[in-house]
Amino acid sequence: MKKVGRLTVVGTGIRLIGQCSAEALDHISNADIVFSVMGNPVAECWLRTLNPNMISLQTHYRDAPDRPAAYRAMAETIVAAVREGKDVCAAFYGHPGVFVGPSHAAVRQLRTEGFDARILPGISAEDCLFADLEVDPAVTGCQSFEASDFFFNKRVFDTSAALILWQIAVLGDDTYSAFEAQPHWLKALAQVLMEHYPADHKVTIYEAATLPTTRPRKEELALRDLGKAAVTQASTLYVPPCGTPTRSSQRVSLLQSCRASYDGD
């Protein structure tokens, strides 16, 4: 009987080895073929010890003209292997469903063709941020945006809740081909944020540790100085709450009226 292919997308976490779940390890070890995007040669070597039939998709970054084209090529490579009847595991660092376009594209395509395809959870950079900065998103609330999306669109946000902006290094890259930040991009972002926060409001440039031997970057600076900060592809901006939320007396009254209506029934 012809073998029916399937796809399981897993995340290996941000920090090598220790953040990879037992479920993900099982799929990596038992797959017919493993496609990986690790961004770290040490991580790729570790994956190959789990499954020698491991193929890195990093080469698509080199061969494609821009990131969207690279992502399409990655998805097509994964889909082609499943069509051949293979049990495929696609392993991405971090959470495989967060800022990982190829994983979603491959799963959608395979499901339309009748194949079994799913994404398993993994430890993301956001999870690491909450731990390293000791932030509890349930206390004040938390808003999360991709930096370019936040900057170019008139996003409505609440300064009394924490704000996380991802991929600040490529905020002004409308060609999807830049790999280094330009200082004027960050200066412009700071000016937009200073329309809502004081210039001396303390923000943090955060980068999660990727190896057990390294430590996370937690660089605190005044918002006005954001344009002077050195950032990388891994940099995230954390903006802590400013002020307190405004309590709604109207909603308090609404809750009381609803309670009274139930008590009367």
pLDDT the model gives residue 177: 58
Task: Read off the pLDDT of residues 190-207 as tens digits, 9 standing for 90 and up.
Answer: 999 999 999 999 999 999
User: Structurally, how many domains does the chain consist of?
Assistant: 2
User: Mean pLDDT over residues 119-130, rounded?
Assistant: 97
Residues 146 and 201 in one domain: yes
Instruction: Answer with the one of 89, 119, 149 that is the final residue of a domain.
Output: 119
CATH of the domain at 155: 3.30.950.10
- Residues 129, 114 share a domain: no
**Catalytic residue flag (residue 71):** yes
Task: Give the mean model confidence (pLDDT) for residues 158-170.
Answer: 95
The residue out of 119, 142, 175 marking a domain boundary is 119
* Residue 187 shares a structural domain with residue 101: no
CATH number at residue 34: 3.40.1010.10
pLDDT at 245 over 80: yes
Residue 182 has pLDDT above 80, yes or no: no
CB 172 within 8 A of CB 187: no
In a domain, 252, yes or no: no
Name the more confident of 66 and 28: 28
- Asked whether residue 89 is assigned to any structural domain, the reply reads yes
- Please indicate, yes or no, if residue 54 is contained in any of the structural domains: yes
> For residues 64 and 206, what is the distance between their CA atoms, to the nearest angstrom?
29
Residue 143 lies in a domain: yes
Q: Are residues 156 and 108 in the same domain?
A: no
Q: Which of 15, 48, 83, 93 is catalytic?
A: 93
Residues sharing a CB contact under 8 Å with residue 22, sequence separation 6 or more, in sequence order = none
CA angle 239, 244, 247 (to 5 degrees): 140
- Would 233 be classed as within a structural domain? yes
Q: Are residues 114 and 155 in the same domain?
A: no
Q: Is 61 a catalytic residue?
A: no
3-state secondary structure string across the chain: CCCCCEEEEEECECCCCCCCCHHHHHHHHHCCEEEEECCCHHHHHHHHHHCCCEEECCHHHHHCCCHHHHHHHHHHHHHHHHHCCCEEEEEECECCCCCCHHHHHHHHHHHHCCCEEEECCCCCHHHHHHHHCCCCHHHHCEEEEEHHHHHHCCCCCCCCCEEEEECHHHCCCCCCCCCCCCHHHHHHHHHHHCCCCCCCCEEEEEECCCCCCCCCEEEEEEHHHHHHCCCCCCCEEEECCCCCCCCCHHHHHHHHHHHHHHHHC
Residue 263 lies in a domain: no
Q: What is the pLDDT at residue 1?
A: 46
The pLDDT value recorded for residue 176 is 59
Are 166 and 65 contained in the same domain? no
pLDDT at position 69 over 70: yes
Whether 206 sits among the annotated catalytic residues: the reply is: no
Q: Which domain holds residue 102?
A: 6-119
Task: Say which of 67, 206, 217, 238 is annotated catalytic.
Answer: 67
Question: Are residues 152 and 86 part of one domain?
Answer: no
d(C-alpha 105, C-alpha 102), whole Å: 5
Inside any domain, residue 265: no
Strands 87-92 and 33-37, by their bridges, are: parallel
Sign of CA dihedral 87, 93, 95, 97: negative
In this prediction, residue 106 has a pLDDT band, given cuts at 50, 70 and 90, of very high
Decide if 253 is inside a domain.
no
**Of residues 15, 71, 197, 206, which has the active-site annotation?**
71
Question: Do residue 149 and residue 114 come from a single domain?
Answer: no
